[in-house]
Amino acid sequence: MNTAYLLIGGNLGDRFFYLSEAKKQIEIKCGNIVAQSSIYETAAWGITEQPNFLNQVLVLETMYAPEELLQQLLSIEEKMGRVRNIKLGPRTIDIDILLIDDQIIHTNTLSVPHPALTQRKFALIPLDEVAGDLIHPVEKKSIHQLLLNCTDVLDVQKKSANA
């Protein structure tokens, strides 16, 4: 059994619906969601001329190996209308693997821990909410310490409690 920390988010259409539907599909296809953060809103990171994103962290217990989990998550994104035509562009749903246990993985298709995790408050804040004491396997610091040291200036606002 693996524990995966996922970041789900999107900025097109009914954003709350897409987060809810992604959670349902993840539970059906990937395993048991054992914890979830509040939902947060933030301006787009990277390409800023697009709608604000909603994001949430899920803690998932899964029997899938990391690469298999990634394939399941990509199929959920595709089923939910995710189109990958602009890197960092607008999307209905995005499901990122932030961490899996204390594993360090670098393949052509998967990097765990997520390579940009330490630079993005919109990922660190909800992750801190559900796993602040978790130690990043590369940085050897807790998620809470990484959040305190993060230089990202984007404003992250809580939109709802654990939903």
Which residues belong to the active site? 82, 91, 94, 96
| Backbone dihedral region for residue 136 (phi beyond 0: left; psi -120 to 50: alpha; all else: beta) | beta
| 41 Cβ neighbours under 8 A, 6+ residues apart | 52, 53, 54, 55, 156, 157, 159
Helix, strand or coil for residue 37? coil
Task: Kindly tell me the burial class for residue 42, based on how many C-beta atoms sit within 10 Å of its own C-beta (0-12, 13-18, 19 or more).
Answer: buried
Residue identified by tokens 């993985």 is 105
E strand map for 63-139 = 94-100, 105-106, 111-112
